[in-house]
Structure 1
Amino acid sequence: MKPWVLVSPSSRGIGLELARRLLRTTDVPIVATARKDLDQTREHVLSGLDGVQEDRFQVLKVDMLDEQTMADAASHLKTSFPSKESYLHLSLILPGILHPEKSPTQSNYDHALQTLQVNALGPLMMLKHFSPFLPRKSTTLESPPGLPSQAVWATMSARVGSITDNNLGGWYSYRASKAAVNQITKTFDNHLKTSAGEKALAISLHPGTVKTGLSKDFWGNVKEEKLFSAEFSAEKLMEVVCSRGVGARGRIWDWKGEEIPP
């Protein structure tokens, strides 16, 4: 069985750097997604990656607000990766938007709805359409260099999604969306225990504060040593993904490999 990897989205920030890193450090097919400008995303990911086999990389249209794009992408991949010949070894689901709300009076219905749709419902619908590609108990796994020994479904969360760790308040819809991600992760991992046994697991990830468009308004409030580049974040997140075994399943892990309480 031949493994492949999904990184969604990959048009910028951490997703772009994760796709680039995986192309450099593995030899498996990489599927990236973008909401628009697919050719531009492909060009940005491949830029400067001399010697990489470009034919093992493809970019598909996926919009976290449009389930049909997910269904279409999954349908396309059934041809590229037939279930009898291949399986999804690593899925990195990374959407994120943030509308700051320091107090309840700053909450906006449309902004809150969009936050929940992109950050939580988007990953849930990705599960619906792409989790069938994951291995089952009967699947024979490979151990490709640069990837975890088991199949991993990893979804981007955030420390502020922890209810236990919430001592500051604020960011109501963003916190709620990431808490939902953690619940989705745990629930899906329970499903994987039945369908895949120890051959696949689900985790949530916290990348730290990364210098991307999502956190731009808050760079000034973060110590320089705590403000990470997207390249550094991609490196650390892959270290976490590759070092977590089945004992880590269903839980939330930060970029240092430390568990965040739910």
Structure 2
Amino acid sequence: MAWTLVTPSSRGIGFALTRHLLRTLPPTIPVVATARSDLPGVKENLLASLELSPKQAARLDVRGCDVLSEPSIEQLAEYCKDRYNDRAKDKNAHLRLGFMIPGMLVPERAPDKIEYESALDTLKLNLLAPMMLVKHFVGFLPRKSTTLEPEDGLPDPAVLALMSARVGSISDNRLGGWYSYRASKAGLGQLVKCTDIFLKMKTGTKAMCIGLHPGTVKTGLSEEFWESTAKEKLFSPEFAAERLLGVVEGLEEANGGRCWDWQGKEIPP
């Protein structure tokens, strides 16, 4: 059985991605979504106005997870293994699509604006949280022996998608600034590459890891820049989710280990 994961899912792009998967995936594909608190409220909001059948709605599984706590991530992984990835019961059980997308932005414009605690928080959430998620979930991706059945709305091969950003590109950095955010996203690029190399060794062509850049999306992370961003370049979370899933569905074997923007164009490291 294939299953999917979006973490976190309570707001922003994660919220929109989860709702899009619920609308478009076959009703047999579970969607695991995470939030730190108010799980019943998050589930209600995720399902609101989607007009799903009872079977479609029932496959949404909202679980608690604090992505800044490795024990919390480990507990989520243990639950998913028992519930969805028990290969003793189903030898082809696998995570087919995982979005691991925590993030925050503190836009320091000069070195003297860097504050230790906020920079540390940025690195923890933007880099260490995805690293710990990869650590505990990469083993759920297909093995070389796994049979991947074609599924509408899901990529083939399986994909771990981490939230990157164009400003994480070192070669594309023309303006400087945003020190902790740029550094965390540049580090994320290495995490993507290392994970993809690992997956090639362990899964052959069955799984890959990529970075995704959604553009400037109207979420709390980018609120400071809404007014200064051209309207045609400020995207809704729903638009970003639809485009990112389109990019993921179109991936080919050679696309792993790299970062792709919402248009499907590669962002250089």
TM-score, normalization by structure 2: 0.95
Shift of the alpha carbon at 1:74?
0.8
Identity in percent: 52
The answer to whether the 8 Å contact 1:64/1:117 transfers is no
Distance 1:142 1:118 in 2: 34
Shift of the alpha carbon at 1:247?
1.1
Distance 1:156 1:51 in 2: 28
Runs of 4+ in 1 over 6 A off after TM superposition: none
Given candidates 134, 155, 178, the residue that maps to 2:141 is: 134
The answer to whether the 8 Å contact 1:95/1:156 transfers is yes
> What is the SS of the residue equivalent to 1:198?
coil
Query: Aligned residue pairs: how many?
Result: 261
Distance 2:42 2:268 in 1: 35
Deviations 1:198-243 (A, max 9, x none): 0001100000000000000011111000000000000000000000
Deviations 1:69-111 (A, max 9, x none): 1011111112211124211000001111011100111100000
> What is the SS of the residue equivalent to 1:165?
coil
The answer to whether the 8 Å contact 1:10/1:32 transfers is yes
The aligned runs of 1:76-225 (5 Å cut-off) are: 76-81=79-84, 82-84=86-88, 85=90, 86-225=93-232
Distance 1:145 1:75 in 2: 27
Distance 1:102 1:149 in 2: 41
* Alignment partner, residue 258 of structure 2: 251
Deviations 1:102-130 (A, max 9, x none): 01111000000000000000000001111
Letter in 2 for 1:70: I
* Alignment partner, residue 13 of structure 1: 12
Shift of the alpha carbon at 1:51?
2.3
Distance 1:136 1:169 in 2: 41
Distance 1:239 1:66 in 2: 31
* Alignment partner, residue 63 of structure 1: 66
Distance 2:184 2:107 in 1: 13
CA RMSD of aligned residues (A): 0.8
* Alignment partner, residue 29 of structure 1: 30
Distance 1:39 1:114 in 2: 28
TM-score, normalization by structure 1: 0.98
Structure 2's unaligned 5+ residue stretches are: none
Distance 2:30 2:122 in 1: 31
* Alignment partner, residue 247 of structure 2: 240
Shift of the alpha carbon at 1:54?
2.0
Shift of the alpha carbon at 1:35?
1.6
